[in-house]
Amino acid sequence: MQAIEYFSVECPEALGGEYYEQIANDVLLDHNLLRVISKIHIFIDPKVPLFVAVGTLKRIKTVVRVGDFANVNPLEGKTTLVITDETYLAPMLKIFWERFGKDKVEQPDRFTVILYGVTATPAEIEEIAVADPSESLHKDLIYALRCIAPEGFRLRSEVFSKEKFSYVASENTLAEDIGELVKQKFALMGETPP
Amino acid sequence: MTLVPVTYKGGIFQHDIVEDLIEDLGGYIVQKHIIAAEVVLQCFVPREDIELIREISRPLFGEVTDSPLVGTEIAVVSMSLEIHHLPHPSCDIAEYVRRLGAKSNMVSLARGPGKRIAGLNDEERDVINEHDLAVFLLGNFETCIEYKMPTLRRGIEVPIVLAGGPDISVLKKIVDPPVEGYVGNVGRFMRRTKEGEQLLKLDEIVAEITRVLEKKREGIAKDPLSVSPARLMGLIRENVPEILDVTSPTPLTVQMAGLRVKLPYDAFAEKVRKIEIEDGIRLGDIAEVLPSRMRDYILVRILPFSETNTVV
């Protein structure tokens, strides 16, 4: 797994900051987000109280195709697919059923799918798009940041773009110049806000 | 005869021998769990007879261990039911004290999280006060703990063990007036406690709870209870057979100075009050039978000798 380029937690309370570094690490790892985030800076001030998380995202390969997780072997009028990763098996079967019809698709076991008498060439089958993981990316990221932020910080200002994100939360009304703070935190990573 | 809390673990084969032995010796079985082919008995037995039980249960591969928390009900107070606090650390701690014999209940506050917005309502306060001890699990920042602790402890009369992220010395400094017990470096975390260091931390929490409860026990010993809660448990079981139909894991929960009867108050309170203990002394004479704030259960608070002038 690729490591995060920049990961830092800033907090006036040293020990509290350490714990939050651990929490952030655990949550991002649990949600499989380390492969997506390129830089992240978290700032917490329990005195205000305020929680700020800013960061940048990696470009991830958007679409998963049949060829990415299955070997397609044509043989005497039938095509056998050997699945190496089950994650996308269900959406793939759904697409096959729609496209070829249920009677032409057979799944003898977990790792094999056989297509009978389909006209598509193996190359065409390999190119079929199955899923787009980036669709749920923002959903996961927002959920993870909510997990990391101290609970009870329910007043939030969030910006999520394709490449960058900022998440500010507090239990009090956010100050008007909060944008300035976000800008400062982005500057620490050598970036500009989205 | 002093009764000490112990846990017996052994095979299911002939475990009734051990059960009969404990009862014949004048001990009480507080909880009995049958897990697959294993039996776990949490009981009070006379101190001088522990060796005898060990002796007799040896051919059955039985094991007798001290468990100082048997016969106590502990409230593990978590700030909310959100993913932030559950299942780690709240459930981990609740489960760990259960292993040592305590009956632990999780009390999650409706408005516990946050700093300024944290609060405790009257129902939560009363439920916590029905326990022998409350373990408050707070967060990682000393600023927040210092700010919210006075609000959260308002009206709590039972001993409090405070667990939080800062070091123990810091916790002692910021909480005023002091609470009974402190455990530092256990704030909010998002991983399971399964590594050695984390388990040591759980042991530290249990040690602190034991220390605080021991102190409470000493206090009770100075003015002894009119009847032992474990004895009342047996009597209620005999006299109110409806309790046997209750499906909850501990229909009768023994506390240090009382017990919780998981039957509706309106229907059964009178029946419980009228139970005869000995020589015409009824349960209602030496204990208060109160409605619990937990569902519609009955709470029995045993009065001390100084109030009743009887010990049975």
Q: How many CB pairs under 8 A join A and B?
A: 71
Q: Do A171 and B139 touch (CB under 8 A)?
A: no
Preferred mutation among A23, A43, A50 to probe B, highest tally of B CBs within 10 A:
A23
Task: Work out the minimum CA distance from A174 to partner chain B, whole angstroms.
Answer: 14
Asked whether residue A1 carries a pLDDT value surpassing 70, the answer given is no
Q: What is the mean pLDDT of residues A8-30?
A: 93
Strands (E), chain B: 3-11, 28-35, 38-46, 63-66, 73-78, 103-108, 133-137, 160-163, 181-183, 252-254, 258-261, 276-278, 281-282, 287-291, 298-302
pTM: 0.86
Q: How far is Cα A113 from Cα A122, in angstroms, rounded to an integer?
A: 13
pLDDT tier at B139 (50, 70, 90 boundaries)? very high
Q: Do A153 and B114 touch (CB under 8 A)?
A: yes
Q: What is the ipTM of this complex?
A: 0.85
Residues of chain B contacting A171 with CB distance shorter than 8 Å: 114-117
Q: What is the mean pLDDT of residues A103-110?
A: 91
Q: What is the mean pLDDT of residues A35-54?
A: 93
pLDDT digits (tens, 9 = 90+) for B20-31: 999 999 999 999
Preferred mutation among A28, A140, A151, A156 to probe B, highest tally of B CBs within 10 A:
A151
Q: Is A57 helix (H, G, I), strand (E, B) or coil?
A: strand
Q: Residue A13: which of B116, B141, B188 has the nearest Cβ? A: B141
Q: What is the mean pLDDT of chain B?
A: 93
Residue A171 touches partner B, C-beta closer than 8 Å: yes
The answer to whether A51 and A20 have CB atoms below 8 angstroms apart is no
Residue A44: closest C-alpha in chain B:
B141
Q: How far is Cα B184 from Cα B235, in angstroms, rounded to an integer?
A: 42
Q: Among B212, B259, B275, B264, which residue's Cα sits nearest to residue B31?
A: B259
Q: Do A46 and B141 touch (CB under 8 A)?
A: yes
**In chain A, what are the domains?**
6-60+134-188 (no CATH), 64-131 (3.30.1360)
